[in-house]
């Protein structure tokens, strides 16, 4: 990525950042607007970004913000010697509802999933420090983000599955419970759901291969990943998966109607992570070990993705990453990022924590939502 432009986005009335393609460091006090830049970048990929916020929550607020402001984020992405223009933002529908707009090279797109085919991203934030001890939803989202880098159409299949599942739930709750309509929706859920589960299985296999090849690389432990869920188990059965998937949904209609949720499908899967050297589940490891496992997984993903894409590693968004690592692990992380040739956007309150990157990264001092490039 060589340029990022913001308009009416959170604390930024407007802003533009030009970068070289090297790692990027954003340093400044808390509340300066560093994480807002990472948030903007994360929205140039499918999903709700690093904060998981609604569209309207990204809109700039305050006395000086216009009441009709709509936010927008755009970037220039360099790929294989060509520049791609990518952008997204908030627009209002005909009835005033909030909608997300996406542009790729100036052409409107109807699906945010299309952005996954232009740029791949992975991120770590302080909120993810509890990933292994909280609910399965966060772990699924973490895995899906990594799978986008291996299987770009995964985002589109996941969106198809969610849309069909929501419509089926609506029919079960409010009616009419027309068997033909439900059969059609369940066929769509089966088609998209099997694709989602298969892509996740492929992603886990690739990550495990990369993690095993890396071993205990430097300061970071090795991890082993697996999937736990009925839909994942179904992939290993010899029966016709599509027929069985649809059969389980059909037989669960009354149960799902009473429960108010869909009780079978890849949306209920969980990612299980084990610390290889300690032979224990990540949830039972210390906070520092859990952080190290997350970094090991993200780095393994970046290495595997770069091998798949002619050396192009995904963009990494690492919020407050240095503050939670000791000096040995910080140095190891920086060395791996440089070896990957990855554009990692890193934030922190103290520029000195990034001293090893002084001549090897674009350094910005951020104050009052204004990034200023620091000369080498």
Per-residue pLDDT, 282: 97
In terms of average pLDDT, the best of 113-117, 139-143, 310-314 is 139-143
Q: Where in the chain is the domain with CATH 3.40.50.300?
A: 1-120+309-376
Sheet containing 362-367: which strands, arranged edge to edge?
Answer: 121-124, 315-318, 344-348, 24-27, 362-367, 370-373
Closest CA to 42 of 148, 183, 163, 184: 148
pLDDT tens-digit readout, 318-352: 999 988 788 889 999 999 999 999 999 999 999 99
Domain 1-120+309-376 fold is: Rossmann fold (3.40.50)
Query: Nearest Cα to 7, choosing from 122, 113, 91?
Result: 91
Under the banding of pLDDT at 50, 70 and 90, the label for residue 217 is low
Alpha carbon distances (Å) from 59 to 10, 27, 50, 53, 237: 5, 23, 15, 11, 47
Q: What is the DSSP letter of 374?
A: P
Q: What is the largest CA-CA distance in the chain?
A: 67
**Phi, psi of 75, rounded to the nearest 5 degrees:** -150, 155
Radius of gyration (Cα) for the chain, nearest Å? 22
Which residues touch 86 (CB under 8 Å, ≥6 apart)? 44, 74, 75, 76, 77, 103, 104, 105, 115, 118, 119
Give tens-digit pLDDT for 232-250.
999 988 678 999 999 999 9
Q: How confident is the model at residue 211 (pLDDT cuts 50, 70, 90)?
A: very high
Cβ neighbours for 266, distance < 8 A, ≥ 6 positions apart: 161, 193, 196, 197, 200, 229, 231, 232
Please name the CATH architecture into which domain 138-302 falls. Up-down Bundle (1.20)
Tokens of 157: 């299949």
pTM for the model: 0.92
Phi, psi of 193 (to 5 degrees): -65, -40
**What would the two tokens of residue 296 be?**
């090991």
176 upstream amide cis, omega within 30 of 0: yes
Q: Please, which pLDDT band fits residue 97 given cuts at 50, 70 and 90?
A: confident
User: Can you say how many angstroms the Cα of residue 124 is from the centroid of all Cα atoms in its chain?
Assistant: 9
Residue 23 is predicted with a pLDDT of 96
- Sign of the four-CA dihedral 204, 343, 317, 82: negative
* Of 292, 273, 294, the residue nearest 282 (C-alpha): 273
- Residue 64 is predicted with a pLDDT of 76
Closest CA to 320 of 345, 338, 299: 345
CATH 1.20.1050.90 segments of the chain: 138-302
pLDDT at 79 over 80: no
């Amino acid at each position: 990525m060589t340029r990022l432009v913001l308009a009416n986005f959170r604390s930024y009335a407007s802003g533009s950042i030009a970068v070289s393609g090297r790692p990027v460091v954003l340093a400044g006090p808390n509340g300066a607007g560093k994480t807002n830049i990472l948030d903007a970048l994360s929205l140039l990929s499918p999903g709700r970004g690093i904060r998981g916020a609604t569209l309207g929550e990204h809109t700039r607020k305050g006395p000086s913000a216009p009441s009709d402001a709509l936010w927008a984020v755009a970037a220039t992405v360099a790929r294989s010697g060509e520049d791609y223009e990518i952008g997204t933002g908030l627009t209002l529908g005909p009835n005033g509802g909030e909608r997300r707009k996406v542009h790729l090279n100036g052409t409107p797109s109807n699906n945010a999933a299309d952005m996954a085919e232009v740029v791949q991203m992975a991120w770590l934030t302080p909120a993810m420090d509890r990933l292994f001890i909280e609910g399965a939803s966060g772990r699924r989202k973490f895995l899906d983000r990594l799978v986008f880098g291996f299987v770009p159409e995964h985002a589109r299949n996941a969106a198809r599955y969610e849309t069909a599942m929501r419509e089926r739930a609506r029919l079960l709750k409010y009616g009419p419970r027309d068997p033909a309509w439900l059969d059609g929706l369940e066929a769509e859920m089966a088609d998209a759901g099997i694709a989602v589960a298969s892509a996740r299985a492929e992603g886990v296999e690739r990550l495990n291969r990369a993690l095993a090849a890396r071993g205990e690389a430097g300061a970071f432990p090795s991890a082993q990943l697996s999937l736990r869920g009925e839909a994942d188990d179904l992939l290993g059965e010899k029966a016709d998966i599509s027929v069985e998937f649809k059969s389980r949904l059909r037989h669960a209609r009354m149960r799902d109607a009473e429960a108010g949720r869909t009780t079978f499908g890849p949306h209920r899967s969980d990612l299980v992570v084990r610390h290889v050297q300690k032979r224990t589940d990540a949830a039972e490891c210390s906070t520092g070990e859990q952080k190290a496992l997350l970094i090991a997984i993200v780095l393994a993903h970046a290495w595997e993705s770069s091998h798949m894409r002619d050396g192009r590693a995904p963009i990494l968004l690492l919020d407050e990453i240095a503050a939670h690592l000791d000096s040995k692990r910080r140095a190891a992380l920086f060395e791996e990022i440089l070896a990957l040739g990855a554009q990692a956007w890193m934030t922190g309150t103290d520029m000195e924590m990034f001293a090893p990157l002084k001549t090897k990264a674009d350094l910005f001092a951020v104050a009052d939502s204004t990034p200023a490039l620091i000369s080498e």
